[in-house]
């Protein structure tokens, strides 16, 4: 008689194989429009999608948006127009493995590589001698922390963090296929390099701001907020309405945008 685990294995293997070869669904008109308004650059043979809009006349300010897991640059679509009214350049990318960027398999996905891709995009656009504002969420928070740690000589980063998958620690539960497990190595990387990345926040003189949704299940209220203020007492904080959760830029785009612009305009 075949053991139960062998039966499960025999069922799981073809199902997983089929899943990995299912063609992606058709894109919605909104996503087609988003893709057509962007472009690609190459980083080490990988095609990386990015969107670059020229906005406010008379401003030289630039903002680069770093999305979270497991989504893409489209996370920013509700505040994109509002940002273009304040910034001269509004730039977002899909990290490798996400969105419209390449998804190589097998591949060792790492926060360090994603940070290098952001640096590559900045150089590709000829912006490496200009000050860059970073607006980050979730997975992108850790990429921003690595960029801050590197203290790129010709760049000054003005950072905004709002929590997602806890920039200061925490866990996330996700469906596990081999591809997702590879992407999810960033959680282990956060634990391994916590001193490096949290230390970058603690030691920087760059202005930091947190926009926080109190209903965020990944970073529970009030424990996360208390920890954040304890670890980063010089950072300013905006707490949104009680019903706002993990994606404040989508759940409350007006409140989020106002909080961010108030922070930027305070300098």
pLDDT in tens, 206-256: 899 999 999 999 889 999 999 999 999 999 999 999 999 999 999 999 999
Q: What pLDDT sits at residue 165? A: 39
Query: Can you give the residue ranges of every domain in the chain?
Result: 36-159+172-187, 207-266
Asked whether the predicted pLDDT for residue 127 surpasses 70, the reply is: yes
Between these two residues, 194 and 157, which has the higher pLDDT value?
194
Asked whether 80 and 53 are in contact (CB, 8 A), the reply is yes
Asked whether the predicted pLDDT for residue 2 surpasses 70, the reply is: no
CATH class belonging to 36-159+172-187: alpha beta
Q: What pLDDT sits at residue 24? A: 74
Mean pLDDT score, 100-106: 92
pLDDT in tens, 41-74: 999 999 999 999 998 888 889 999 999 999 999 9
Query: What is the widest separation between alpha-carbon atoms in the chain?
Result: 77
Asked whether the predicted pLDDT for residue 94 surpasses 70, the reply is: yes
Asked whether 64 and 135 are in contact (CB, 8 A), the reply is yes
Q: How far apart are CA 84 and CA 101, in angstroms?
A: 23
Q: What pLDDT sits at residue 18? A: 66
Mean pLDDT score, 10-18: 70
Read off the DSSP letter of residue 61: -
Packing angle of the helix pair 194-203, 223-231 (nearest 10 deg): 70
19-23, 96-100, 133-137: least confidently modelled range: 19-23
Q: Which of these, 241, 240, 231, lies nearest to 260 by C-alpha position?
A: 240
Helix (H) / strand (E) containing 249: helix 248-251
Asked whether the predicted pLDDT for residue 86 surpasses 90, the reply is: yes
Confidence of residue 22 (pLDDT cuts 50, 70, 90): confident
Confidence of residue 170 (pLDDT cuts 50, 70, 90): very low
Please tell me the pTM assigned to this model: 0.84
Between these two residues, 253 and 19, which has the higher pLDDT value?
253
Asked whether the predicted pLDDT for residue 168 surpasses 60, the reply is: no
Q: What pLDDT sits at residue 178? A: 41
Asked whether 138 and 166 are in contact (CB, 8 A), the reply is no
Q: What pLDDT sits at residue 167? A: 43
């Amino acid at each position: 008689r075949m053991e139960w685990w062998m039966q499960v294995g025999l069922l799981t293997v073809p199902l997983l194989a089929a899943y990995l070869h299912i063609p992606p669904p058709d894109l919605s008109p909104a996503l087609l429009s988003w893709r057509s308004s962007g472009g690609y650059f190459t980083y080490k043979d990988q095609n990386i999608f990015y969107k670059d809009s020229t906005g406010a006349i008379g401003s030289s300010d630039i903002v680069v948006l770093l999305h979270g897991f497991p989504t893409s640059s489209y996370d920013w679509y509700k505040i994109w127009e509002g940002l273009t009214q304040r910034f001269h350049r509004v730039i977002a990318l899909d990290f490798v493995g996400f969105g419209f960027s390449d998804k190589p398999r097998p591949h060792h996905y790492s926060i360090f590589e994603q940070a290098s891709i952001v640096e590559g995009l900045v150089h590709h656009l000829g912006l490496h001698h200009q000050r860059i504002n970073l607006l980050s969420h979730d997975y992108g928070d850790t990429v921003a922390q690595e960029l801050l740690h590197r203290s790129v000589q010709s760049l000054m980063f003005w950072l905004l963090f709002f929590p997602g998958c806890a920039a200061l620690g925490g866990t996330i539960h996700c469906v596990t296929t081999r591809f997702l497990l590879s992407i999810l190595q960033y959680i282990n990387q956060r634990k391994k390099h916590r001193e490096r990345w949290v230390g970058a926040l603690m030691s920087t003189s760059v202005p930091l701001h947190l926009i926080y949704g109190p209903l965020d299940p990944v970073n529970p209220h009030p424990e996360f907020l208390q920890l954040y203020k304890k670890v980063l007492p010089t950072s300013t904080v905006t707490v949104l309405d009680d019903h706002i959760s993990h994606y404040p830029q989508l759940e409350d785009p007006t409140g989020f945008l106002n909080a961010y612009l108030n922070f930027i305009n305070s300098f």
